[in-house]
């Protein structure tokens, strides 16, 4: 690939060109890929009426770019190295040739089970090679994948399946997660009680736990692949055909299905992967994310494979068998680039140096961070203790909606600064605005982070509801994409993301909408009303704080709390369980009946000095009760 920046001058030139002549800038990059038919119009866009298209008229298949292209000249190079949950189990190495064969074979299985171009396929699997194969097999035949993170509940799965009317579900019997066995198929069975669109379930074997297999609906992966060949020509796709749907939480309502399209997403994830990780042929790259989130889609599967890289997949968790597991993996596989989340860093930092001091981490060259703000202490520990002071940290800011990394330092090129994502990548035009939408010029300022010009990897729509996409992202500030994040631009023009300014909480790098958690809590019998806010949490970044009004006051508080937690687990999943629940007799409301979240946040965060004026509330007396009842 001919688009790697190598020096500060390269970056400045690329950035300049991307602003002055975006069409030619992206055309030159896109030409590096294999197109079945060239595009007719590089870019058309309108942020007011939300229409964005890149590479219009171009025909391609992303798997031809991620697989066939590399099989031609390096069939034996590892594409995926898979590290199992149990370190004593065998590692699997899938070369480009092997991965290509397995993807084609499984693509034929999908076809045999009735999946056609444009159909939606739900994938609910642990981090095993079959997950990557399933994703790529969908792309091979032009089916739209909707991966649901393995930690979500049956209810969440069925909501997602129904929203996009998935025809097929791909899952496993069970999953290994540390010492635990997770019953994946059972959860899928529960989800499917209420999913009329699903005709087939394809089950891969991982744990050999007993499961139910329903005649006519459920089939085994291992048996199906014996019935087909490994010949599967790539489906000819339009650049703007959807590649996948990925559900993500916002301020209001149920999670939205963010839609990414093939051409732009491919070009953008490959461009950003090659540059942000300064990938060189032969490097071993390890991203610890789960493929159930956008980071796994873009930077375990598509970006690395589009660049012909070697990407690792890890099935387990950082603390199994002990808190040295990541460092063991780095030593064992001689990992060069390591990309993880601040939550993992903070948690591993807390276990002390006995887990890494005797490990050989000398293969590391570049460290990455993603998903939430990284605090300075964690940044320095990562830099000194893991990188031994020699590895630049690339703090990458981006979102499910942006498809790929937007603001990040280029290792060994851009100066780094702890807790700063630093500078926008070429093609990205960030601006800060005040609450009225006026642009905030100059440096040394704070504001709401927006993007004013399209980039190839951006969201195109939300599945089944284009208006919602327009309203959520393009109507807060006219003509701008609004990120939902607050941001500082310092004296040097460097960007530092300060966190969400909307009703989204970032818990361990997972996005959770406060409204979603409130709805789940309100499902519990006996709950009258609830309000959920985020508060600072040492490890998770943010914790979930719930204020709950119960119908009766003579309850067993501990038991009721546990029941509420169980309810939230059932409705959303364990990741959305509140860390604190406070029972209250009322919530602070304005005279028009709106909950004053600002006050709830201040109390949860212990910022009592800056509570502000509470006298205009409908029920000012409630504030003292909130403060008194807080732990
Ligand atoms: C936050 C994850 C600070 C941010 C790729 C964003 C970050 C949300 C960073 C998106 C970072 C992500 N520094 N905050 N480097 N990266 N965020 O959709 O609030 O799961 O809006 O995408 O995570 O989360 P999402």
Which residue's CA is the nearest one to ligand 1's atom 1?
372
Question: In angstroms, what CA-CA distances link 76 with 92, 93, 337?
Answer: 14, 10, 21
Helix axes 22-30 and 262-276, enclosed angle (nearest 10): 90
Give the Å distance between the CA of 251 and the centre of ligand 1: 15
Give the Å distance between the CA of 454 and the centre of ligand 1: 19
- 446-499 tens-digit pLDDT: 999 999 999 999 999 999 999 999 999 999 999 999 999 999 999 999 999 999
**Residue 452 buriedness (CB in 10 A; 0-12 / 13-18 / 19+):** middle
**What CA–CA distance (Å, rounded) separates 302 from 133?**
12
573 assigned to some structural domain? yes
316 assigned to some structural domain? no
368 assigned to some structural domain? no
- Is the pLDDT assigned to residue 631 strictly greater than 80? no
The CATH number linked to 624 is 3.30.300.30
Residue 325 CA, chain-centre distance (Å), reads: 22
Quick check: pTM over 0.85? yes
Range of the domain at 614: 506-629
Tell me if 432 sits within 8 A of 440, measured CB to CB.
yes
Unique residue bearing structure tokens 């293969």: 363
Q: What is the largest CA-CA distance in the chain?
A: 73
Q: What is the pLDDT of residue 253?
A: 83
Q: Which one, of 533, 536, 527, 496, lies nearest residue 512 by Cα?
A: 533
pLDDT grade, residue 555 (50/70/90)?
Answer: confident
pLDDT grade, residue 433 (50/70/90)?
Answer: very high
With a 6 A CB cut-off, is 368 part of the ligand 1 pocket? no
Looking at the structure of the chain, the number of domains it has is 1
514 assigned to some structural domain? yes
Give the H or E element holding residue 59. strand 59-60
594 assigned to some structural domain? yes
**What CA–CA distance (Å, rounded) separates 383 from 393?**
7
pLDDT grade, residue 1 (50/70/90)?
Answer: confident
Atom of ligand 1 nearest to the CA of 369: 15
With a 6 A CB cut-off, is 497 part of the ligand 1 pocket? yes
- 300-348 tens-digit pLDDT: 999 999 999 999 999 999 999 999 999 999 999 999 999 999 999 999 9
Q: Take residue 613 and report the two structure tokens written for it.
A: 């004026």
Q: What is the pLDDT of residue 416?
A: 97
Q: Is the peptide bond before 321 cis (omega within 30 degrees of 0)?
A: yes
Q: What is the pLDDT of residue 630?
A: 85
Average pLDDT on 43-51 reads: 97
Q: How many CB atoms lie within 10 A of CB 191?
A: 26
With a 6 A CB cut-off, is 248 part of the ligand 1 pocket? yes
| DSSP string for residues in 372-389 | SPPPHHHHHHIIIIITTT
617 assigned to some structural domain? yes
Average pLDDT on 402-406 reads: 98
173 assigned to some structural domain? no
Query: What does pLDDT average to over the chain?
Result: 97
pLDDT grade, residue 251 (50/70/90)?
Answer: confident
**What CA–CA distance (Å, rounded) separates 40 from 396?**
33
149 assigned to some structural domain? no
């Amino acid at each position: 690939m001919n688009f790697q920046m190598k020096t500060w001058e390269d970056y400045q030139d690329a950035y300049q060109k991307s602003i002055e002549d975006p069409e030619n800038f992206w055309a030159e990059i896109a030409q590096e890929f294999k197109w079945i038919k060239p595009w007719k119009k590089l870019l058309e866009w309108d942020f007011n009426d939300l229409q964005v298209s890149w590479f219009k008229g171009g025909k391609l298949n992303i798997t031809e770019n991620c697989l066939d292209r590399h099989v031609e000249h390096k069939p034996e190079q590892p594409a995926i190295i898979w590290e199992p949950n149990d370190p004593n189990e065998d590692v699997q190495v899938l070369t480009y040739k092997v991965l290509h064969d397995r993807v084609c074979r499984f693509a034929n299985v999908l076809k045999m089970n009735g999946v056609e171009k444009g159909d939606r396929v739900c994938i609910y699997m642990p981090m095993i090679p079959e997950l990557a194969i399933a994703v790529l097999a969908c792309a091979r035949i032009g089916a739209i994948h909707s991966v649901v993170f393995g930690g979500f509940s049956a209810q969440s799965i069925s909501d997602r399946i129904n929203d996009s009317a998935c025809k097929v579900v791909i899952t496993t019997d069970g999953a290994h997660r540390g010492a635990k066995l997770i019953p994946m198929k059972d959860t899928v069975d529960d989800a499917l009680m209420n999913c009329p669109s699903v005709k087939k379930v394809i089950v891969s074997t991982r744990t050999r736990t007993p499961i139910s297999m329903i005649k006519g609906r459920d089939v085994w992966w291992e048996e199906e692949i014996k019935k087909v060949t490994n010949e599967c020509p790539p489906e000819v796709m339009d650049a703007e055909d959807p590649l996948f749907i990925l559900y993500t939480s916002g301020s209001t309502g149920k999670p939205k299905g963010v839609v990414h399209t093939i051409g732009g997403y491919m070009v953008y994830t490959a461009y950003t992967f090659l540059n942000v990780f300064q990938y060189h042929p032969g490097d071993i790259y390890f991203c610890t994310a789960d493929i159930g989130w956008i980071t796994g889609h873009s930077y375990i599967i598509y970006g690395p494979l589009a660049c012909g890289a070697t990407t690792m997949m890890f099935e387990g968790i950082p603390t199994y068998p002990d808190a040295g597991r990541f460092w063991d993996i780095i030593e064992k596989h001689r990992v060069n680039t390591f990309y993880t989340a601040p939550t993992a860093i903070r948690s591993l930092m807390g276990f002390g140096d006995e887990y890494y001091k005797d490990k050989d981490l000398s293969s590391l060259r570049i460290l990455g961070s993603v998903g939430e703000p990284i605090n300075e202490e964690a940044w320095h520990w990562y830099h000194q203790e893991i990188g031994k002071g020699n590895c630049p940290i690339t703090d990458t800011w981006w979102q499910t909606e942006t498809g790929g990394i937007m603001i990040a330092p280029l290792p060994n090129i851009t100066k780094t600064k702890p807790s700063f994502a630093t500078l926008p990548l070429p093609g990205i035009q960030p601006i800060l605005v005040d609450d009225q939408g006026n642009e905030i010029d100059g440096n040394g300022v704070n504001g709401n982070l927006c993007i004013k010009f399209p980039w190839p990897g951006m969201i195109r729509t939300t599945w089944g509801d284009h208006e919602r996409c327009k309203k959520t992202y393009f109507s807060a500030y006219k003509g701008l994409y609004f990120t939902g994040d607050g941001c500082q631009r310092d004296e040097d023009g460097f960007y530092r993301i300060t966190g969400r300014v909307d009703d989204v909480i970032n818990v361990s790098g997972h996005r959770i909408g406060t409204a979603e958690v409130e709805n789940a809590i309100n499902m519990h019998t006996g709950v009258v009303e609830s309000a959920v806010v985020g508060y600072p949490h040492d490890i998770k970044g943010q914790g979930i704080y719930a204020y709950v009004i119960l119908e009766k006051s003579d309850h067993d508080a501990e038991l009721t709390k546990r029941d509420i937690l169980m309810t939230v687990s059932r409705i959303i999943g364990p990741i959305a369980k509140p860390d604190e629940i406070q029972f209250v007799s009322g919530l602070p409301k304005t005279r028009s009946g709106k909950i004053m979240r600002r006050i709830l946040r201040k109390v949860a965060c212990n910022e009592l000095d800056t509570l502000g004026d509470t006298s205009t509330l409908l029920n000012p007396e409630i504030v003292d009760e909130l403060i008194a009842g807080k732990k």
